Amino acid sequence: MQPDEQSEVFGPIDAGALREIRDLFVDLEPLVQTASLDDPLNPQTLSVELSDGVGAASTARIDVRWSLTGNYAVHYTDARDRNFRFDCHPKPDAPRRHFHSPPDAPSRPVDPSCISVSETSLVTRAILQRWRYAYTNGTFEGLNDAENPP
């Protein structure tokens, strides 16, 4: 898939949603060091730097994209190069809401996401709940096993 095709499927970015998500991360997660938009006038990505990561990871980052059509991609990566993603967008042969599992968040296969809500603030709270679960337990085990978070 070419980048233009992917953006057509994903849809144009919702700058207001990214700002709302940024504020929720800052207000709700004490480990947030910074939460910044890549471009203040035409943001495409929100990057949230965390002062600690899951298990032995000393730092982590969560990148968020959110479209005007309600599609989203939330990508966790940490200092140990471990990754996972909670996504909601059309993907051939996969559920619209899907999860790319750690440690490397492969494009395929994906699993159905445990996050079934669609409102921006509820998805953000669900992501934070799942991140906090992994962080508190020091493992990615069970990360996508919740029932309809938040």
Contact call for residues 149 and 130 (beta carbons, < 8 A): yes
pLDDT mean across residues, the chain: 94
pTM of the model: 0.93
pLDDT of residue 4 exceeding 60: no
Residue 141: pLDDT over 80: yes
Lowest average pLDDT, out of 5-14, 50-59, 73-82, 97-106, goes to: 5-14
- Give CB contacts under 8 A, 24+ apart, made by 71-76: 71/9, 71/10, 71/11, 72/123, 73/10, 74/123, 74/127, 75/105, 76/131
Q: Which of 85, 81, 80, 82 is nearest to 98 (CA)?
A: 85
pLDDT bin (cut points 50, 70, 90) of residue 81 is very high
Place 39 in a pLDDT band, splitting at 50, 70 and 90. Answer: very high
Q: Tell me how long the chain is.
A: 150
